[in-house]
Amino acid sequence: MLVQIPDVLTLQEVVYCRRVLEAAGWVDGKVTAGDQSAPAKHNLQVPQDSAAGRELSEIVLQALGRSPLFATAALPLKVFPPLFNRYDVGMTFHAHVDNAIRPVPGTGARIRTDVSSTLFLTPPEDYDGGELVIEDTYGAQRVKLPAGHMVLYPATSLHRVERVTRGSRWASFFWTQSMVKSDQQRRLLHEMDMSIIRLRADLGDAHPGVLGVTASYHNLLREWVEM
């Protein structure tokens, strides 16, 4: 399931993140790559343990907490602390699949990467290339969103970042361990929840049809959730 979420960050938050990133130290992006993806990865990252990385990670986590669409699409149990990368001219990330398990630095904890997320920090008109290309059941989906917007997609997906040919593409990226492991089940729950929202707006909360669909949603969630 591929879901685009608009305005995860406000304009003011995007501007602030950009200002902090402009002054940050950047390192080779291979520092967080696995054995399979490292040769394919050609970008820069802000060190996760840097002051800038920790501050901006917290800003993104707070923004996720106020996004109902992220909650219903990802059904998050654990969120990996957001990271930040950039692709300058000539940089790319060839086709790869994200690591299934990620250790959370400094905690001893690990998360299963069910959902991958990219939060764009650069307006699309400021760079050429740099599209996130995700292979799904409907073919290759090319994603290039406004600054502050985010895309979610299954971490099992083969995906890549096209070579940047002008400008620089900056983004935050992270993974979520969902309460519902199956992408197909998450898709069904998300579609059902979106239908419930529309039915509530049209019919009201007390309508028998709304009550019945809502009950089915929660009973399916209860059946499929892993805590």
The answer to whether 159 is annotated as binding is: yes
pLDDT tens across the length of the chain (227 residues): 999 999 999 999 999 999 999 999 999 988 776 666 678 889 999 999 999 999 999 999 999 999 999 999 999 999 999 999 999 999 999 999 999 999 998 888 999 999 999 999 999 999 999 999 999 877 899 999 999 999 999 999 999 999 999 999 999 999 999 999 999 999 999 999 999 999 999 999 999 999 999 999 999 999 999 98
The answer to whether 169 is annotated as binding is: yes
Q: Which helix (H) or strand (E) holds 69?
A: helix 68-74
Residues paired with residue 28 on neighbouring β-strands, in sequence order: 44
The answer to whether 88 is annotated as binding is: no
The answer to whether 42 is annotated as binding is: no
Question: Where would I find the beta strands (DSSP E) of 68-138?
Answer: 76-79, 83-87, 92-96, 101-103, 110-112, 115-120, 132-136
Q: Can you give the pTM of this predicted structure?
A: 0.94
Q: What's the helix, strand, coil split of the chain in %, to 5?
A: 35, 30, 35
